[in-house]
Amino acid sequence: MLVGATPGPDGDLAAGAAAYRLQPPLHDLVSTVMAPTGALSGADGQIRPSGVQGLFHADHRALSQATLLVNGREPEAIGHVHEEAGRTRFVSLARWLGDPHPDPTVRLERVREVGANGMSERVEITSTASVAVTASVTVELGCDFAPIEVVKSGGDTVPAEPDDSGSDGGSPGGLLWQSGGIRVRAAGTDARAEIGGGARLRWELSLPPGGSTTLRWEVVVDDPAAVVVAPTRALEWSTPEITASDRRLTRLLNQSLEDLRSLRLVEIGAPDDTFLGAGVPWFLTLFGRDSLWAARMLLPLGTELAAGTLRVLARRQGTRVDPVSGEAPGKILHELRRREFTVEGNGLRLPAAYYGTIDATPLWITLLHDAWRWGMPEREVAALLPNMEAALGWLADHADPDGDGFVEYIDTSARGLANQGWKDSGDAVRFRDGSQAKPPIALVEVQGYAYEAARNAASLLEAFGRPGAARWNEHADALSERFRARFWVDGPHGRFPALALDTDKRPVDALTSNIGHLLGTGLLSEEETAQVAGLLAGPMMSGGYGLRTMSSGDGGFSPLSYHCGSIWAHDTAIVLAGLARAGYAAQAAGLAEGLLAAGEAFGYRLPELYAGDTADPRPGRGRPMPYPAACRPQAWSAAAAVTIAHAALGLYPDVPAGRVVLRPMAGAPLGAVSARGLRVAGAAVDVAVDAAGNATITGLPPGLELQVL
């Protein structure tokens, strides 16, 4: 979801300049996260009172400043490292202290640990000087309680005033801020709290020659109104041991699994149903589409995350028609907040529980089906079948308001999202000439999702002895015929499915990554799959560090457009998985290479999106450019690493049918890859593919027949 300029009545951006604000940039900040809390700082560890820096907790900024000073000066940073989920170490020097020669003799290591309800830091100060070192060390603190949507839109905030009463009992040396039921308490071991010209914690330091000491402080957030909290149960997925000829894959996967661990959340009152928050800092909450896709991409590591995600969304499944929230019977939620999400300047006002998504409902059905095939216990699947039938009711009765046979959307509230597919920015749906399509919009990938959901639901209904399977297979057949007749268009490089149909049922003829989501849904014939694969692998779509969201030959293309030319890691991963499964190993490997190169450039922490610039293949001549306000870490971007490994290994179980297909990418284009500790029906499974493409598997549970292709 973007925040952008507000046009004037004639579409003139300048006319809306008074309301225009820029999102603060994120790309050079360091995030330390343990959901629902996350700290964003400079690379030096300092949290400065500007932009989006701060300690955030469940949609509020708890600290807007945490600046470390030594004798009133900032130490000089020399580096930082993410040690594990929720912990980052920042290293700096105080070169003006200690011995007066070029080698630094006073070093500070600031170890930040973020937990579910706050943050702690220990500052390890070491001197190798031959003289004693004395200093005054302070942490300058600030709090503004800014809602995340105000920070996101670059809005104005007002600092809150602290007192020095500490926590409830008035503990010495503490600071307390309170607003709207949220309490933020900061205290340091052996520190003095000061108010006046700002709030700070102070230590007086005296080190003998060669001495060291450790200073400790923490901030605790008490937020009873939060709608999401950290889980207390064990990790829901396995942590496989991956080895690969291309070490970038190993590094990317290890960092991604740490990031995914830091994004785990549950709803208040439902501690056993874990889901993944979408991304830091804007979307660290339940997002239907994002949470569903991330859980689906992690199925090779187990079905527990999928089960939790399915259940938490099932509990909030729509029951009534509400044009303001977008709710309808059977519809799956888009996002959950503690209150209305209002963005200053662009008219966006989303209810706390918002249903403005056209794709989450069919994606929910398909995740249930896929989790069942990976071995989700039948009793858990059966318990969710009534919700699946309600979701089918939405597809039948509410997803096609004009009755033309396609799933489509329009925001009738005039305050919600104008576009409700995964490309949800206001300008995301464009014709080849760059002009924007008018709603109602029927997106191409959503027809694929709906087709796949109908087929998958029919399989589940038949397997569990429930009525309706024939109806939904017929529904899928009819959708396939309509799609083939209405969506395919001619372009400069051949025929392809249009991005969408607009209000007049005209095909929106831009060439986009959306068509790659059709791969694997069953909606395309073999010939059509070959045509789509060839276009997506061409230089206009795959000439960068992954798959561009829009062809560089289209009029609306811009490398730094949120949805019309940038590269999204999850989008690329979804398409490469479809290519790999369809047998297009070379094309899939090309996209995987783009993601691995981007992962290396971004420190193996893939951002939400980045620029769709053309890659320079010459060594040392190019690297992907960041999108300034992209989330990092982000759930489905991190999950993309699992998808790359899974595509290379080619493990496709169907536990209810009693079979497992092992079909690695032909020719092993990513080199040798092995994984120990994947999960099929709860059993630990090891898969290895050697450099020649020969595959082996061990650990399959009894009763499953193996087919190696």
Is residue 288 one of the residues assigned to a domain? no
The CATH number of the domain where 88 resides is what? Answer: 2.70.98.40
Please give the Cα distance from 366 to 315 (Å, whole number). 17
Task: Give per-residue pLDDT as tens, 396-440.
Answer: 999 999 999 999 999 999 999 999 999 999 999 999 999 999 999
The answer to whether residues 124 and 43 belong to one domain is: yes
In a domain, 321, yes or no: no
Q: Are residues 569 and 479 part of one domain?
A: no
| Mean pLDDT of all residues in 665-676 | 97
Alpha-carbon distance 445 to 359, whole Å?
Answer: 9
The residue among 346 and 406 whose pLDDT is bigger is 406
Q: What is the CA radius of gyration of the chain?
A: 26
Contacts of 117 (CB under 8 A, 6+ apart): 37, 57, 220, 221, 222, 223, 230
Q: What is the structure's pLDDT at 343?
A: 80
Q: How far apart are CA 61 and CA 609, in angstroms?
A: 24
Please give the angle made by the CA atoms of 66, 68 and 69, to the nearest 5 degrees: 140
Indicate whether 289 belongs to any domain: no
Prior bond of 617 cis (ω within 30°) = no
Same domain, 463 and 546: no
The gap from C-alpha 253 to its chain's centroid, in whole angstroms, comes to 15
- Summarised one tens digit per residue, pLDDT across range 121-180 is 999 999 999 999 999 999 999 999 999 999 998 888 999 999 865 444 334 569 999 999
Q: Is 414 inside a domain boundary?
A: yes
Amino acid 171: pLDDT: 44
Same-domain check for residues 492 and 570: no
> Which among 32, 25, 28, 33 is positioned nearest to 52, based on CA atoms?
25
The β-bridge relationship of strands 76-84 and 348-350 is unpaired
Does 37 have pLDDT greater than 80? yes
Where among 225, 254, 271 does a domain terminate? 225
Same domain, 97 and 47: yes
433, 455: one domain: yes
Instruction: Report if residue 590 sits inside a domain.
Output: yes
Same domain, residue pair 22 and 45: yes
Report yes or no: 664 and 597 within 8 Å, Cβ to Cβ. Answer: no
Answer yes or no: are the C-beta atoms of 52 and 29 closer than 8 Å: yes
**CA–CA distances in Å: residue 67 to residues 92, 221, 349, 633:** 13, 19, 34, 23
Answer with the one of 536, 554, 585 that is the final residue of a domain.
536
Residue 581 three-state SS: helix
Considering 618, 645, 678, which residue would you say is the last residue of a domain? Answer: 618
For residues 630-650, give the mean pLDDT: 98
Q: How many structural domains comprise the chain?
A: 3
Same domain, 415 and 554: no
Chain segment 2-24, per-residue pLDDT in tens? 443 333 333 333 334 444 578 89
- What's the CA gap between 413 and 590, in Å, rounded? 42
Domain that holds residue 206: 13-34+37-225
Query: Are 436 and 487 members of one domain?
Result: yes
Per the structure block, which two tokens stand in for 666?
Answer: 């032909």
Distance CA 416, CA 627 (A): 24
- What tokens were used for 508? 């929106």
- Are 579 and 562 within one domain? yes
Phi, psi for residue 330 in degrees, rounded to 5? 85, -10
* Domain match, 524 and 596 both: no
Amino acid of residue 115:
G
Backbone dihedral angles phi then psi of residue 589, each to the nearest 5 degrees: -65, -35
Position 519 in a domain: yes
Q: What is the pTM of this model?
A: 0.95
186 and 118 in one domain? yes
| Cβ(77)–Cβ(91) below 8 Å | yes
Q: Which is it for the CA torsion 159, 160, 163, 166, positive or negative?
A: negative
CB atoms under 10 Å from CB of 208, counted, come to 11
Kindly give the interhelix angle for 469-486 and 444-463, rounded to the nearest 10 degrees: 160
Structural domain includes residue 559: yes
Q: Is residue 531 assigned to a domain?
A: yes
- Dump pLDDT digits (tens) for 278-316: 999 999 999 999 999 999 999 999 999 999 999 999 999
